[in-house]
Structure 1
Amino acid sequence: MSQTAASLLFELGTEELPPGALDRLSDALASGIVEGLDQAGIRHGRVRALGAPRRLAVHIEEVAVTQPDRAFERRGPAVAVAFDEHNNPTRAAEGFARSNQVSVEALERLETNEGAWLVYRGVDTGQATADLLPAIIQRALDALPIPKRMRWGDQSTEFVRPVHWVVALMDDAVVPMEIFGVASDRQSRGHRFHHPDPVTIARADDYEQALYRAHVVVDRHERREQIREAVRGEGERLGGRAVLDDDLLDEVTALVEWPVVLSGSFDETFLRVPPEALISSMQGHQRYFPVRDVDGQLLARFITIANIESRDPARVIAGNERVIRPRLADAAFFWDLDRKKPLSDRLDGLEQVIFQKSLGSLADKSRRVAGIARAYAERFDTDPDTAAHAATLSRADLLTEMVGEFPELQGVMGRYYAREQNESPRVADALDEIYRPRFSGDAIAGSPLGQLLAVAERADTLMGIFAIGKAPTGAKDPFALRRAAVGLIRTLIEGQHAINLAGLLREAAAWQPETLDAEDHVDEVVGFCLDRMRAMALEADYAPELFEAVRSALAPTDIEPLDFQRRLEACRAFTGLSAAGSLAAANKRIRNILRKAGDTGDAPVDPALLREPAERDLHEAVQSHTAPVQDLIERSAYTEALARLAELRAPVDRFFDDVMVMADDDSVRHNRLALLGALQSLFLAIADVSALPEPG
């Protein structure tokens, strides 16, 4: 390590941190310290955010040991007022010199367009980084995203958990500071049980190895990967595959410092309960990893991660098996109890559960969704009565004991209970599919009925919440309307449903309470959905110009997400053609010519007024392409339509090379504008290709 830079280590030792907050706090602490270093002009190298249940740590390489010196210039009074008529310094000059602790003779002059000024130029010597770190680190800690802070002992300071030790080193030197009443040193702590004695950190770069010897894996990413591989391997040893849920992995990683894999079993009679319920119980209550066999069936086994290497693992496993039994017994009890009461008998109870104060109960929402579903059933190849019946039942499982205990099973349990009560498989599956996609990357509903309910559900939510004035603002989206809009759009596109967005939302608006004037908000919701479509397109690597080319060619009332997506794909394919750049430029030129001429170009072309060969050729080309292109457009074959229009490149180029559009003869001029309007209309029927990027 050079003498001008050193490795920085900061570790804050605490009581066990909230597992759901560890990653967020660790990253925020590192970001805050880096921000402080950057603001102070202190260069640094690689940054690592470390953390374990009892500690937050940051390790930064190649931190400059001092700030750089910084030249400065302070402007004083104008020379005209700094000296009198005898060139003696006035009080203004003397005061400015005194404020800079120099003589008037040490001041310099600055000539500007506004006149001459006295200036003092100097150099601020950079401070030692070690002197600046206490304030930098304290600011970073104060800015951590901690929703609820606590006090401990007789301290007046507050933090997420009581603080017990602070390590602050630059290479091998302790950086003196006091954090939450605790003085910094080089004494960390190891594993609470395997190594309860202090751990001396000789140098900042020794930190991870020193803690590893003390049974602490302090790199949370390394610890997570250790757990993942250990659980995967144990699942294979048990003859199956472990269910590796990312959220559970994160939580377990934040709970242990020294992961040790163990596995146990439970009574196979519990396997009569739907596997999702058993998995929710194991993951949510016990933080166990379930195991499936090679066919995907749940095994009566589980995997757990301990935070200690026990001398009697069998005893630990027996304890885990004893704890899980009553949890699974509860799930079995709920399963048996819920099946005694049909879903249809629970509908009256939905009248008492408020969805939203201004939008009524869950029963009201189910009726609205049923109405929308009935209206659009045939568009989804579904029987209207079946659609309305499924929509009516869709929330009944919310009143079951199982969903009350495991809210994440909403819809899933509705499917199981519906099958048990002899509902048709289509209806039963739709009770689960109405919620899909549940999260980013989740698949849409698999059946037409499920897709219909998913669309109706989201259309109702969007219109209702916008109508009561609760549209998302900034990062706040308490009703998850962005997710609802994306789910609606994805279902229409991936389900291949040609549904007009404004028409669907007007139908949803018609079912809202009359006092809300929901139809007044249809355009607003269409715009909101278009914004989501734009974000989806950008995420899928469509250039912004492609999206705008399609959007500008369609009125908001004409938006069909499936049709929009097909046009978008066609534009991307078109930009790959050699003629694309020339035709985009030509369409841009046509748009500008028509705008400046004040002519819409929608008059019919008179062939008798076509005087130049180039304009006759273009007219003939437009005429010969119009019918086949319109046929392709009617079949939504936009890619093929734009490929046909690309054939117009040569006659378009010749026209602009040989023909003066703005002829002196009014009739000739208007006829040429009409020809350009006809050409432009062919493209605009698909997209505004003038918005596409031209080749560089």
Structure 2
Amino acid sequence: MARDFLLEIGVEELPARFLDPALEQLWKNTEQAMLESRLAYGEIITCGTPRRITVFVRGMAEKQEPLVQEVKGPAVKVAFNAAGEPTRAALGFARSNKVKVEDLVRKSVGPVEYVFAVKREEGRPAVEVLAEIAPGLVTGLHFPKPMRWGDLEMRFARPIRWLVCLYGKQVVPFTMAGLQADRYTYGHRFLSGGRQEIAGAGAYFDVMREVYVIVDVNERKEIIRRQLAEAAAREGGRVEIDAGLLDEVTNIVEYPAALCGSFDDSFLQMPEEVLITPMREHQRYFPVRGEDGRLLPRFVAVSNNGPDAESLAIIRAGNEKVLRARLSDAAFFWQEDLKTPLADRVEGLKKVVFQERLGTVYDKVERVTALADFLAGQLGANVEEQGDITRAAYLAKADLLTNMVYEFPELQGIMGREYALRSGEPQQVAQAVYEHYLPRFAGDELPQTLPGKILSIADKIDTLVGCFTVGIQPTGSQDPYALRRQALGVCHIIIDGGLVLSLQEMINRAYSGYAGWVAAQLSSAEVIAELEEFFRQRLRGLFMERGLPYDTVDAVLTAGFDDVSGTWLRGRALEQFRADPAFDALLTAFTRAYNLSKKAESERVDPALFASAAEEELYRSYREVSAFAGAAIEAREYGTALAGIARLQKPVDRFFNEVMVMVEDERVRDNRLALLKKVADLGGGVADLTKIVTHNK
């Protein structure tokens, strides 16, 4: 009869970011353990709170499934003599596998018949197997920063304080970290009555609810989401829910209760971000907006102490007091910062080190300004835009010296925009100062203005080139300067903005900005080569993330990716064309031409050497299609170019039907190979079709 299995690891409070990855690991490890142990089950459920990591397996079999193994032995003709009597080989094989020689079975493997020993191992009781599995489920969890405690050698995210391990009503015995697994758990730290007994695994969720623990992460999250909305609605507003903050709050409470607090209206005179940042980043509060979208002097916090009104009133007062102090500090910083125009702070950047081998932040400002001016010219910025770009580049890092950014680093760029506006700078300049930091993380907004796009690219390329020049490159999981994120940011901006820029030229220009005063470990050519490979890896992942299959991605990247936005357009065009029946024609023509053209030693075609109408037709068609496809590629109409190239199928088919390529006359043979090479190379402006694995849809 199937029973439920429960393993609860009770710990001191886990960091919020540790819980979700731990539960994912535990689910995968449990699934693998059940498979390897031959224990049938119905469903695996993982759940947890800051004080517990739990796996619950519903409907686990009472014993393992039997193990039947067939061990291959010697060939029958070796195992038995002509009289059918077992030889020493058969006797030895049977003995080594602990079976009787008469129980050996015969099976053919291809043309040869062999003997096999069939070994059957009965399944062991589940509780015995689980006692062996459970310790591995605990030690199999890995955390970013494991710790030791007491005099124990074991490492875990936080000290383990209790272990519950049950198969049905039976305790699964094992010892770990000085603890003996039992049936006793602990409920909410403040609301429950201490140690609680779990009579059987199936009662776990009911027991947890009775001791004020909502152990299911998704249920807890939905409770919080609903409470946030209700609390804000009672104040006539709507809560602004940040998904990351909601996940964090869900993982730091066991029994949530939302409460709405307030702050003085006078603080609303500051920019919204100045209010939201301390609320969200430092206090884990959710801002509240009115029906008109404006920020209200309200916030919603989530308590871990349940809905008791008296307790919530005390907690509300404490939260309001803490936020009042933070906002008072912010108001002071705001007023002090406004006394100094943003431009007057730039000189101070000469005393701020960007990176010890790459100079000061002021040095970076000068390099970024020069690179941004170059990019502005490449993208055809008008005189007004060029002026805005130069001014924004000069001011971009000045807010690093403000009191507000010193206290709240998350506000860099945001405060630069605010202080620029209040210093009398044009809106376009202030916006570019803000946008040059974008995107700050995966899924973040991208710059929308041309000055913002150019300044963001210039800033990121300068950092990438500088770090690679002095030998600072990401290794494994180590990327202290977030170079992968910055390279991805450049790719996103160029692709989504449809910007036509040369990656190699940008890198080379940025490298020249370091020339003469940086102790370079790599030459310009080496930096270009390494960064191109670095960008290739980013683009491959990005294109696949956006829905392109790996062979389409490889095909367009192999054809070149110096024009990043063009490469993306080529990838989309190729993938769309692969769904068109004409793609068969394109691939057929290319494949037939490519296979023979590999032997070509020259690309020069002499029409005087043509000996048949088929050669003449293919050459004429090639020239027409080449001109057509070249114009389409120049116009970045890659789908049109591919459709044009596909028209070569019939001339190619006729050529192969009527022309013998590998003739004895060397000049004629080479001329025909050269023609095929030109046909094969025609698609190279779009993609390397040799990388296409399949075109069947």
Superposition TM-score, scaled by structure 1 size = 0.87
Partner of 2:632: 632
Q: Given that residues 584 and 691 in structure 1 are in contact (C-alpha distance below 8 angstroms), is that contact kept between their aligned partners in structure 2?
A: no
Instruction: Give the AA of the match of 1:372.
Output: L
Partner of 2:6: 9
Q: Does 1:562 align with 2:561?
A: no
Q: Whole-Å Cα distance in 2 between the matches of residues 41 and 48 of structure 1?
A: 18
Q: Whole-Å Cα distance in 2 between the matches of residues 639 and 158 of structure 1?
A: 57
Partner of 1:301: 298
Instruction: Give the AA of the match of 1:61.
Output: R
- SS of 1:351 mapped into structure 2: helix
Deviation string 1:558-597 (CA, Å, 9 cap, x unpaired) is x11122122222222322332211321221221221222x
Q: Given that residues 374 and 385 in structure 1 are in contact (C-alpha distance below 8 angstroms), is that contact kept between their aligned partners in structure 2?
A: no
1:247 to 239, 244, 262: 244
Residue 256 and residue 601 in structure 1: after superposition, are their counterparts in 2 closer, same or farther (change >3 A)?
same
After TM superposition, give the deviation of residue 510 of structure 1 in Å: 1.0
Residue 213 and residue 681 in structure 1: after superposition, are their counterparts in 2 closer, same or farther (change >3 A)?
same
Instruction: Give the AA of the match of 1:651.
Output: P
Partner of 1:396: 398
After TM superposition, give the deviation of residue 255 of structure 1 in Å: 1.8
Partner of 1:508: 510
- SS of 2:266 mapped into structure 1: helix
Residue 636 and residue 212 in structure 1: after superposition, are their counterparts in 2 closer, same or farther (change >3 A)?
same
After TM superposition, give the deviation of residue 396 of structure 1 in Å: 1.8
Instruction: Give the AA of the match of 1:535.
Output: G
- Give the 5 Å matches for 1:292-441: 292-307=289-304, 308-312=306-310, 313-380=312-379, 381=381, 383=383, 384=386, 386-441=388-443
Residue 105 and residue 582 in structure 1: after superposition, are their counterparts in 2 closer, same or farther (change >3 A)?
closer
Task: Using the TM superposition, name which of 411-420 and 653-662 deviates more.
Answer: 653-662
Partner of 1:188: 185
Partner of 1:480: 482
Task: Using the TM superposition, name which of 435-444 and 450-459 deviates more.
Answer: 435-444
After TM superposition, give the deviation of residue 650 of structure 1 in Å: 2.7
Deviation string 1:283-313 (CA, Å, 9 cap, x unpaired) is 1222110012334321111111122121324
Deviation string 1:362-413 (CA, Å, 9 cap, x unpaired) is 2222222122112222224165554333223222212222112221111111
Q: Given that residues 588 and 649 in structure 2 are in contact (C-alpha distance below 8 angstroms), is that contact kept between their aligned partners in structure 1?
A: no
Partner of 1:168: 165
After TM superposition, give the deviation of residue 237 of structure 1 in Å: 4.1
Q: Given that residues 388 and 428 in structure 2 are in contact (C-alpha distance below 8 angstroms), is that contact kept between their aligned partners in structure 1?
A: no
Q: Does 1:290 align with 2:287?
A: yes
Residue 529 and residue 382 in structure 1: after superposition, are their counterparts in 2 closer, same or farther (change >3 A)?
farther
Q: Does 1:524 align with 2:530?
A: yes
Partner of 1:85: none
Instruction: Give the AA of the match of 2:9.
Output: L
Q: Whole-Å Cα distance in 2 between the matches of residues 401 and 261 of structure 1?
A: 33
Partner of 1:572: 575
Q: CA RMSD in A?
A: 3.6
Residue 272 and residue 137 in structure 1: after superposition, are their counterparts in 2 closer, same or farther (change >3 A)?
same
Q: Given that residues 369 and 460 in structure 1 are in contact (C-alpha distance below 8 angstroms), is that contact kept between their aligned partners in structure 2?
A: yes
Residue 533 and residue 602 in structure 1: after superposition, are their counterparts in 2 closer, same or farther (change >3 A)?
farther
Residue 108 and residue 390 in structure 1: after superposition, are their counterparts in 2 closer, same or farther (change >3 A)?
same
Partner of 1:546: 552
After TM superposition, give the deviation of residue 458 of structure 1 in Å: 1.3
Instruction: Give the AA of the match of 1:631.
Output: A
1:221 to 218, 221, 242: 218
Q: Whole-Å Cα distance in 1 between the matches of residues 613 and 540 of structure 2?
A: 43
Q: Whole-Å Cα distance in 1 between the matches of residues 441 and 689 of structure 2?
A: 34
1:584 to 584, 587, 590: 587
Partner of 1:445: 447
Instruction: Give the AA of the match of 1:52.
Output: T
Q: Whole-Å Cα distance in 1 between the matches of residues 649 and 226 of structure 2?
A: 58
- SS of 1:414 mapped into structure 2: helix
Instruction: Give the AA of the match of 2:23.
Output: S
Structure 1 unmatched ranges of 5 or more: 81-89
Q: Whole-Å Cα distance in 1 between the matches of residues 498 and 673 of structure 2?
A: 39
Aligned residues: 675
Instruction: Give the AA of the match of 2:405.
Output: V
Partner of 1:138: 135
Q: Given that residues 33 and 137 in structure 1 are in contact (C-alpha distance below 8 angstroms), is that contact kept between their aligned partners in structure 2?
A: no
After TM superposition, give the deviation of residue 676 of structure 1 in Å: 2.8
Q: Whole-Å Cα distance in 2 between the matches of residues 478 and 463 of structure 1?
A: 15
Residue 41 and residue 616 in structure 1: after superposition, are their counterparts in 2 closer, same or farther (change >3 A)?
same
Q: Whole-Å Cα distance in 2 between the matches of residues 624 and 163 of structure 1?
A: 75
Structure 2 unmatched ranges of 5 or more: 79-87, 110-114
Q: Whole-Å Cα distance in 2 between the matches of residues 619 and 122 of structure 1?
A: 69
Instruction: Give the AA of the match of 1:463.
Output: V
